[in-house]
């Protein structure tokens, strides 16, 4: 598996990078798989592909604080990003990894991550809902995916040392929620792992045997996607 530790200065480029990498692997006949990790330096809100802006985000608070709102290409719910979050992106081969369905892909990734976190943090982690990792019923990792013909992008966030009050400030109660949430407010639903980012990075890298550096990053494609999609309000605020 290839490995890439790359964070851009702007949120739009970080989102565009995931799609550009998926495009790259999709067209490369001998492509294997990839683990990317990145950490945001600014706070911003990311909507799932089909989320409705006014239903998911607190627009007045975001505007007051200068927090940008973006939209990703994958599904799932809205999240707040910022320092204290560690993001991962996996580009996986649908055939060799036997990921025929959305459920297959989530199970494959989350079981691996559950084991990594349990060993690292000494906790009892579990998979809850469709795509969450939890400890004692509180979510510390949310995940989403976007599928193409040959490859699938599965990406998500680990809450390590994030200011959880910002989730309460910038997000509304989600229009759709997993049953295990039971209408709990954000601060009663999420939790930090309180594990150093470096340790999580290293253990993810080892857990996926991501031993080979990715030498070609599709910077031109990333710039194009920012201009055509992720950097445009027409995309971010289309619903």
pLDDT at 95: 81
- The share of the chain scoring above pLDDT 70, in percent, equals 100
Domains parsed from the chain with CATH numbers: 2-232 (3.30.930.10)
Residue 108 pLDDT exceeds 90? yes
Average of per-residue pLDDT values in the chain: 95
Q: What's the sign of the alpha-carbon dihedral 73, 77, 78, 80?
A: negative
Give this prediction's pTM. Answer: 0.94
pLDDT at 204: 98
pLDDT at 90: 98
Span 209-231, average pLDDT: 96
Residue 176 pLDDT exceeds 90? no
What's the CA gap between 46 and 41, in Å, rounded? 14
pLDDT tens-digit readout, 32-57:
999 999 999 999 999 999 999 999 99
What's the CA gap between 77 and 109, in Å, rounded? 18
What is the three-class DSSP state of 227?
Answer: helix
How far is residue 122 from each of residues 22, 109, 131, measured CA to CA in Å?
33, 19, 21
Structure tokens given for 227: 């201009």
Extract long-range pairs of 233-237: CB within 8 Å, 24+ residues apart: 235/71, 236/47, 236/53, 236/69, 236/70, 236/71, 237/53, 237/69, 237/71
Report which DSSP code applies to 84: T
Which residues neighbour 76 within 8 Å (Cβ) at sequence distance 6 or greater? 48, 131, 142, 143, 144
Is residue 169 classed exposed, middle or buried when 0-12, 13-18 and 19+ CB atoms within 10 A define those classes?
middle
């Amino acid at each position: 598996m290839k490995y890439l530790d790359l964070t851009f200065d702007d949120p739009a480029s970080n989102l565009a990078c995931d799609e550009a990498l998926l495009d790259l692997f999709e067209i490369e006949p001998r492509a294997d798989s990839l683990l990317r990790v990145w950490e945001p330096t600014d706070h911003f809100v990311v909507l799932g592909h089909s989320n409705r802006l006014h239903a998911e985000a607190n627009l007045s608070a975001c505007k007051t604080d200068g927090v940008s709102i973006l939209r990703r290409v994958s599904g799932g719910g809205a999240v707040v990003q910022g320092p204290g979050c560690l993001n991962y992106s996996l580009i996986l081969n649908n055939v060799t990894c036997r990921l025929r369905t959305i459920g297959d892909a989530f199970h494959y990734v989350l079981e691996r991550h559950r084991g990594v976190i349990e060993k690292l943090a000494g906790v009892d982690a579990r998979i809850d809902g469709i795509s969450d990792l939890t400890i004692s019923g509180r979510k510390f990792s949310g995940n989403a995916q976007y599928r193409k013909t040959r490859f699938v992008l599965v990406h998500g966030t680990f809450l390590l040392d994030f200011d959880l009050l910002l989730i309460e400030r910038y997000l509304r109660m989600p229009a759709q929620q997993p049953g295990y949430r039971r209408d709990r407010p954000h601060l009663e639903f999420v939790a930090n792992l309180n594990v150093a980012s470096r340790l999580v990075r290293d253990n993810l890298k080892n857990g996926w045997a991501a031993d080979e550096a990715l030498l070609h990053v599709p910077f031109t494609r990333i710039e194009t996607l920012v201009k055509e999609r992720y950097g445009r309000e027409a995309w971010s605020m289309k619903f």
